[in-house]
Structure 1
Amino acid sequence: MGSFVSGITGCLAFSLYTLNTLFWIVPILIISLFKLIPIKVIRTACTYLIDFSASSWISFNGIIEKIFHPVKINLECEQTLSKKEWYMVIANHQSWVDILILQRILNHRIPFLKFFLKQELIFVPVLGLAWWALDFPFMKRYSPSQLKKNPKLKGKDIEITKKACSKFKTKPVSVMNFVEGTRFNKNKHTKQASPFTHLLKPKAGGLAFALAAMGEQIHKLVDVTIHYPEGSPTYWEYISGKVKQVNVHIKVTDIDSKMRGDYSKDRQFKIDFQAELNKIWKRKDEQLTIMSQQETSNKEVR
């Protein structure tokens, strides 16, 4: 009986999430057409309207969640967050549910989350235009073989991404980066011989590249640690009501000068950056150990 009820719950929730997404993607795409007009004031207004639509989409997702599969999120945040600040957001990655949790806890607390995307993804039908409209930065990466054949391409990737991020100078933004590069599981953990108990090894290059592209504009790091007391859930388990509680810890720090530089050309900076990121990851691993050993008494996200 329980599995039947959860199945019905999941189907209803999924249907409503789909309808909600279709409802909000329409104004986003329509407004994006006006954003093609090369007039700064119009483009700026469109950007605010599109971000408002995206935040509203997440808010309505939250209403659906509360009605069909309420989840208690115990949130501990050491510092105050602001929608007027520029942030680089990093988090441990265990499930696609992580994105839903991040959107729920950060929506209306910081600027709408943006993800760095490969330049080729702009050609994805409908979604590519929506990502462009939402100002997701598209970046071009060159492989070692491409650089070997054409040395002039060195540094071009940074230039392209910096140009894509130039619009963030006038409007606060939050850029998301899953530093592990993939979702955690025991097999990957063992294969990597990860020195961390609860985490995979962090991939420093992607974060260093993002920070270099953003320049001095982003100067705050939002480090989010997500813990599922009953184990990492699937998307279906989440929307069918099988996830009752999630614990989240947020730490906000200034981005150290040691984390700004040329990761591809400066060997000493590369070594220092990796060391700094490993320190952050060690603290996150310790935080996960604490969260897994005891019940937290954090405030519930409302």
Structure 2
Amino acid sequence: MFASLPVFLRVPLACLFLLCNTVLHVLPLLLLTLVRIVLPVKALRDACGGVLVYIAESWLSINGWLWGAFTRTRWTVDGVDGLSVRDNYLVVCNHQSWIDIPALQKIFNRRIPFMRFFLKSQLIWVPLLGPAWWALDFPFMKRHSREELARHPELKSRDRDATRRACEKFRHLPVAIMNFTEGTRFTKAKHDAQNSPYRHLLRPKAGGVAFVIDAMGDAIRHMLDVTIVYPDGAGSMMDMLAGRIREVRIHVRKLPIPENMRGDYEGDTAFRERFQAWINELWVEKDERIAQTFARTA
């Protein structure tokens, strides 16, 4: 619809529409959150929580429509048939760009439960979005360097406790928990610094995945293994709006979480090695899938 406009008009107009959509949804979401806080009855608070998710899904739905209206990006998605909003999922994905998040929201919105992910604590201060994420029960985590953890090992247990509290809340909600398992966005420099054994991926950090699986227990039985490929190269949201990202390819596969992949990751060495081997095998398969996608689009 708007994709034929010249770039100098299309980009600011798209940003304006995205901002308006955010304001129109976040303001009522925050007002309802204030009502929810003061309600004395848990059943009413839970009902408000459901309305908050409905508002958020409406917001994402319109965002998805705007991406389609303002770009000619071709979306090739497979593996999303048969998913359900009544099942809980752990979503693991490779990470290359900030586009990854709206891409995942676009393909999963209203196909699976509302997706939540762990955020850096500093993001609580992002105007509009920070309070909205808080209102929607997104857990905020402090990120600590290895040096900080070496000086203050108690910080590690605080993050584990925060994760466990979040997962305890999620056990009683329809939820999809998002995890970018590499821990950071892929760049060639990071790939080289890690001496990564994968061609298109950084080394996966298995500990966070293991802890979520253990903390969620029987409440989560399936993993969605998501692979995102940008055949033209990963870029920014501005690159997409400007038409420089012509295609996004996303592959999803639903996998059962094996019972022997639930355990004490930190305290049980044998379990930790077994879990790491499982995640590494998933990453080998993902790396090959990305290579094959590039080969087909070459």
Establish whether TM, by shorter chain, passes 0.5.
yes
Q: 1:1-302 counterparts in 2 under 5 A?
A: 5-36=6-37, 37-77=39-79, 80-118=82-120, 127-139=129-141, 143-147=149-153, 157-295=159-297
Q: Deviations over 1:190-241 (max 9, x none)?
A: 1211111111111112222222332221111001101111111221111222
CA distance in 2, matches of 1:42, 1:93: 38
CA contact 1:158–1:213 (8 Å) conserved in 2:
no
What CA deviation, in whole Å up to 9, does each residue of 1:89-133 have, x standing for no partner? 011111111111111111111111101235675576654432222
- Given that 2:10 and 2:70 are in contact with CA atoms closer than 8 Å, whether structure 1 keeps it comes out as yes
Count of residues in correspondence between the two structures: 291
Cα deviation for residue 13 of structure 1 reads: 0.7
State the 4+ residue runs in structure 1 displaced beyond 6 angstroms.
Answer: none
- RMSD over aligned CA atoms reads 2.6
Displacement of 1:158? 3.7
* Distance in structure 1 (CA, Å) of the matches to 2:66 and 2:156: 47
Q: Is the 8 A contact 2:83 2:111 kept in 1?
A: yes
**Contact 1:95 1:233 (8 Å CA) reproduced:** yes
Check conservation: 2:121, 2:142, Cα contact below 8 A: yes
Indicate conservation of the 8 Å contact 2:171/2:216, yes or no: no
- Measured in 1, the distance between the counterparts of 2:163 and 2:290 equals 33
Rounded Cα–Cα distance in structure 2 between residues aligned with 1:20 and 1:79: 28
Matches of 1:281 and 1:163, distance apart in 2: 28
State the SS of the aligned residue for 2:218.
coil
**Residues 119-128 or 157-166, more deviating:** 119-128
Whole-Å Cα distance in 2 between the matches of residues 124 and 262 of structure 1?
A: 35
Distance 1:215 1:73, change over 3 A: same
> Which segments of 5 or more consecutive residues in structure 2 lack a partner in the other structure?
none
Q: Note if contact 1:13-1:240 (Cα within 8 Å) is conserved in structure 2.
A: no
TM-score, normalization: structure 2? 0.88
> Which one is further off, 267-276 or 277-286?
267-276
The range that moved more, 89-98 or 257-266, is 257-266
Q: Secondary structure at the match of 1:294?
A: helix
Partner of 1:299: none
Deviations 1:5-46 (A, max 9, x none): 223211111111111111111111011112213421111111
CA contact (8 A) 1:140 1:161 kept: no
Change (3 A) 1:185 1:138: closer
Q: 1:78 to 1:39 in 2, by over 3 A?
A: closer
Distance 1:161 1:94 in 2: 24
**Structure 1 stretch displaced more, 8-17 or 279-288:** 8-17
Contact 1:202–1:278 (CA<8 Å) still a contact in 2?
yes
Q: Which residue does 1:300 correspond to in 2?
A: none
Q: 1:38 to 1:276 in 2, by over 3 A?
A: farther
Kept in 1: contact 2:191–2:201 (CA 8 A): yes
